[in-house]
Amino acid sequence: MTDPVRHRLLLLGEPVLLLDRSPVAAPIHRKQWALMAFLHLEGERSHARENLAAMFWPGLDAAAARNNLRQTLHQLRHLLGADGPIAGCEAVRLRPESIASDAADFLAAADVEDIEAMERAARLWRGEFLAGLEIGEAPEFEAWRAARRNWSLGTRRRSGR
């Protein structure tokens, strides 16, 4: 059976983007990783551009932060393809049917309380959530990342790995 999802984020351990099961060779910058991870794991809910700009560029004035977000989204659309997972204009989200991740699969498997699901969760574990990715100038994102990392570490311990 062929996986209909072309894009896959590996977020457990050092981040990797797969396109059709092959790693994308293009460089992906810290805030691009951070934005993809945040939008993906925050589900189908759209996020206002103003909120995203303030979250990722809090030290800039609103216009400069929005410009940085616009450029980052443009770069991601170029990287992921025009028909890729990014959707929305004023509010942005990732189409869940267009992108998958080991982190989401890990969380789903860990939520099921049977031995097969726990083994599946343990096999997905490659390391800490977004290992090596830090964005000190974006404390709101860092707080979100730390909460996700702590939750995944606790879940990993329960899954027995």
Q: Is residue 43 part of a domain?
A: yes
Provide the residue type at 117 as one letter.
A
pTM across the whole model: 0.87
Q: What is the distance between the alpha carbons of residues 153 and 125, in angstroms, rounded to a whole number?
A: 10
Question: Mean of the per-residue pLDDT values for the chain?
Answer: 87
Q: Say how far residue 114 (Cα) sits from the centre of its chain.
A: 26
CATH of the domain at 28: 1.10.10.10
Task: Judge whether 73 lies within some domain.
Answer: yes
The arithmetic mean of pLDDT across residues 58-85, rounded, is 93
Enter the tokens of residue 26. 């293009």
- Mean per-residue pLDDT for 37-47? 89
Closest CA to 52 of 90, 104, 85: 90
Q: What is the mean pLDDT of residues 140-155?
A: 84
Q: Where are the alpha helices (DSSP H) in 1-113?
A: 30-41, 49-56, 62-80, 102-111
Using one digit for the tens of pLDDT, what is the confidence trace for 107-145? Answer: 888 777 778 877 887 788 888 899 999 999 999 999 999
pLDDT of res. 1: 42
Residue 2 falls inside a structural domain: no
